[in-house]
Amino acid sequence: MQRAQEAEFGSVASELRIAICDDWEQCALSRADWGELQQLADIQFFSAPFQSAEDAIRRLADFDAICLMRERTAFPKEVIDQLPRLKRLLFTGERNAAVDIAHARSLGIEVSGTASGANKASTAEHTWALILAATRRIVPAMQAAQQGHWRPADDARYPLPDVLEGDRIGVIGLGAIGSRVARIAQGFGMEVVAWSQNLTDQQAASLGVRRVEKNELIATSKVISLHLVLSDRTRAVIGQTEYSLMRRDALLVNTSRSGLIDQEGLIAALDSGRPGHAALDVFDQEPIAKNHPLLTHPCVTHTPHLGYVAAPVMETFYRQLAGDLTVWSRRWLESNTASEGYRPASSDSGVTPSAIKKRDTIL
């Protein structure tokens, strides 16, 4: 059913308003040219997370077009229904499980994503950054040196760095990212095994990888790295049973989706010694609560969901958003305001990339 098109279509006294949400890196202005779009619409950048669904609804109620960064802000039916002015919804990346796309389109809202650019390469590289940081004990060594200790002085339990060559890595999900992680592991001289529900022996062998059953992978791998799409079938693919099978020196790595593992159960599993360590880039709630026990657990290396966060990826995202919005804005204004004597907004705003330092920046 089409959403009723109310008074905002009847006058151009109120210009098109566009919200660029989730610019947590405060890089949107510097990664794309917004000048042409600026002449067509008021643009507002949101560089801090919304505190709740109600906060998002309140702050976004007066926008005609809304852009989301990946799955940082959820847009279920309940949010979409409270945004009657919304006509265009964009998100970065090729899919978004946090947006009710079907419902939005049923209301006549145009919905689309963007290309992913170097996203998969970035995530694979970040996976290995976490693997090496955890196994080589990079973070505690750096922190000790910053405190004046060439070696950690007060913690006799501090483990020595590890060597991965000759050991086994288990890759769960051998798709575009998992296969990259596997190739890098081979470069380190590791034995690579893999498993997923659909993986065949032939597919694995074509990448120089051996397919094994899930429990064998979990019980025998030094590093276990997750690279699955989150779905009903893959949710909690790693839970209490799987934790109990892991080696005591195992490293569990998750740069995919937090729902693939039992995150709350992971704390107890780490305390029991299986796995020995976890390297995490994704969490059940993001941003994660400041007092969450995973942040200070001695057996966790973590980053704040940086897998896809890289300069070329952000350039791909924001340049396509700016281009798509410019085309859409011109089309919408031509079809809805031609008879109203519309005059575009001035492009002389004086806004520079440094202006994004404010929480909300209007172009």
Distance between CA atoms of residues 130 and 136, nearest Å: 10
Distance between CA atoms of residues 95 and 71, nearest Å: 9
For the chain, the three-class secondary structure string (H helix, E strand, C coil) is: CCCCCCHHHCCCCCCEEEEECCCCCCCHHHHCCCHHHHCCEEEEEECCCCCCHHHHHHHHCCCCEEEECCCCCCECHHHHCCCCCCCEEEECCCCCCCECHHHHHHCCCEEECCCCCCHHHHHHHHHHHHHHHHHCCHHHHHHHHHCCCCCCCCCCCCCCCCCCCCCEEEEECCCHHHHHHHHHHHHCCCEEEEECCCCCHHHHHCCCCEECCHHHHHHHCCEEEECCCCCCCCCCCECHHHHHHCCCCCEEEECCCHHHECHHHHHHHHHHCCCCEEEECCCCCCCCCCCCHHHHCCCEEECCCCCCCCHHHHHHHHHHHHHHHHHHHHHHHHHHCHHHCCCCCCCCCCCCHHHHHCCEEEC
Q: Which residues are catalytic?
A: 257, 286, 305
Distance between CA atoms of residues 281 and 126, nearest Å: 9
